[in-house]
Structure 1
Amino acid sequence: MSDWKAKRFWKDATVVETDGGFTVELDGRGIKTPAKRLLVVPTRAMAEKVADEWQAQDGVIKPDTMPATKTANAAIDKVAAQHAEVADMLAAYGDCDLLCYRADSPAELVARQADRWDPILEWAQDVLGVGLQTRTGIMHAPQSPSDVEIMSKRTHSLNNFQLAAFHDLVSLSGSLILGFAAALDARDAESIWDLSRLDELWQAEQWGNDDEADALAAVKKASFLHAKLMFDLSLPE
């Protein structure tokens, strides 16, 4: 098995305006995605983030240190080819949203869920125009078809780059509403992440921390915060 790895061959990574947005050139050569498409992003700020990642490479190229490039590649190679399917998958979270399924005991957890999650559902009603209903337990009970349709239309309206970032906001938090709350700045991203982990944090308070679970949560939190950054960078300047 070959142990060959790609190494840095360029001196400068620079942002260049091009048709449809901005690209990054390595000594005048445009970056390509894994599917061999030219990497073109919608804003200069996003392109600068990508360029910074390439400029920071030293010796062997380390893709794991290039999350902005990875998100841009996903938007171009994956989301663009199946935008409707990705939007449908994410919109489906709204019919079984994390925030709507509540514990029936103990009383302290019930109260904490109401205290922390109800204000976000109220925000969703005010800003998104959806009045989601809460349930006790984990058995699925569908939301109003009209509310599901509103959430679906809003999800489908996101462009490829927004949807690529939104995918991680929703899938990592387990909540379409928290994904929208992060994207639309209902609260800061770290607070929204903590809301998504309310039950886990409660369990840790009762039984103590688990080092492996904490390490995994830290990785997911970093990915969530990165997704919020990429969503913001995708917005018109």
Structure 2
Amino acid sequence: MSDWAAKRFWKSTAAVETEGGYKIELDGRPVKTPAKVLLVLPTAEMAAAVASEWDAQVDLIDPLTMPVTRGANAAVDKVSVQKDEVVEMLAAYGDSDLLCYRAVGPEELIARQADVWDPLLSWAKTRFDVTLTSAEGVTHVPQNPENLARLHAELDRMTPYQIAAAHDLISLSGSLIIALAVIDGFLSAEQGWDVSRVDENWQFEQWGEDEDARALESIKRQAFHDAAKFYKMAAT
């Protein structure tokens, strides 16, 4: 993103159909990624969102206000050129999924984790025929390779744009299962985020809220929501 011009230099923004999808034109000139590749969006909805982000820039271009553009750039410049490696990295979360590491105490936290996380593991069993093993503490518990292979296959069938969204959903939540539940529509984005924050919310309840921690959480929550929206745009 550092290669972008610092100031707005165009008057008109348009999404234009092209081979393989849609491109964004600024005064008739196509937008390219930071790697200088033509940015081609897979759906009309995503193209409209990217065009809207560019059109909303007033003076200085602020990439932080352009989550759809950033996601599309990542899909083109990063995921598409090394899809196998990215899928492998994301699939590895299944072997250390947040939902599988449970507190050793107190009882209220143990019960809360079970109440919120067990239904998701049951859903994964029904939806993907995947049974993940849970354990107390943080010591790594290896999962069945056959289960991991099924989760890997779910990621591998996604397009680079979908994988770019899945990357953020997984890394922000710490859970491949939560991400897949949001992608599949079993959880809303807000529900998925809340499910991933059981431990943190417990700590806030016990020790009080930390202003800096809450501010960081707000940023991450928004990024999680943005990723969920991006996935839907990519799949339209």
| TM superposition score normalised by structure 1 | 0.96
Aligned to 2:202: 202
Establish whether residue 63 from structure 1 lines up as the match of residue 63 from structure 2.
yes
Report the counterpart of residue 41 of structure 1 in structure 2: 41
Give, in whole Å, the separation in 2 of the partners of 1:53 and 1:93.
32
1:52 corresponds to 2:52 = yes
Deviation larger for 128-137 or 48-57: 128-137
How far the C-alpha of 1:87 sits from its partner, in A, is 0.5
Number of matched pairs: 233
Aligned match of 1:10: 10
Amino acid at match of 1:92: A
Displaced runs of 4+ in structure 1, greater than 6 A?
Answer: none
Distance between the aligned counterparts of 2:6 and 2:192, measured in 1? 38
Give the Cα separation in 1 of the matches to 2:229 and 2:12: 24
Determine helix, strand or coil for the equivalent of 2:24: strand
Provide the rounded CA distance (Å) in 2 between the counterparts of 1:137 and 1:64: 37
TM-aligned CA deviation for residue 62 of structure 1: 1.4
Aligned residue type for 2:212: E
SS of the residue corresponding to residue 23 of structure 1 reads strand
SS in 2 for 1:87: helix
Q: How does 1:166-181 map to 2 (within 5 A)?
A: 166-181=166-181
Aligned to 1:59, the other structure's residue is in SS state: coil
Equivalent position SS for 2:104? coil
Q: AA paired with 1:165?
A: A
Aligned residues: CA RMSD: 1.1
* Amino-acid identity (%): 52
Gap runs ≥5 in structure 1? none
* Mapping for residues 103-142 of structure 1, pairs under 5 Å: 103-142=103-142
Counterpart CA distance in 2 for 1:161 and 1:36 is: 18
Distance in 2 (alpha carbons) for counterparts of 1:78 and 1:148: 24
Deviation at 1:6, TM superposition (A): 2.3
1:141 Cα deviation after fit: 1.1
State the distance in 1 between where 2:110 and 2:65 align: 40
Asked if residue 79 in structure 1 is aligned to residue 79 in structure 2, the reply is: yes
Query: Is the aligned partner of 1:164 residue 2:139?
Result: no
SS in 1 for 2:88: helix
Q: Is the 8 A contact 2:133 2:141 kept in 1?
A: no
Q: How much does 1:112 deviate?
A: 0.4
Gaps spanning 5+ residues in structure 2: where?
A: none
Task: Give the Å deviation of 1:5.
Answer: 5.7
Q: Displacement, 1:228? A: 0.3
Q: State the Cα deviation string for residues 134-191 of structure 1 (Å, max 9, x = none).
A: 1111100111111011011111111100000100000000000011011111111101
Q: Residue in 2 aligned with 1:32?
A: 32
Read off the aligned partner of 1:134 and give its amino acid letter. S
The 8 Å contact of residues 130 and 150 in structure 2, kept in 1 or not, is answered as: yes
- For residue 163 of structure 2, what is the amino acid of its counterpart? L
Deviation at 1:133, TM superposition (A): 1.4
The residue that corresponds to 1:93 in the other structure is 93
Question: What is the CA–CA distance in structure 1 between the aligned matches of 2:91 and 2:159, rounded to whole Å?
Answer: 14
Q: Whole-Å Cα distance in 2 between the matches of residues 6 and 114 of structure 1? A: 49
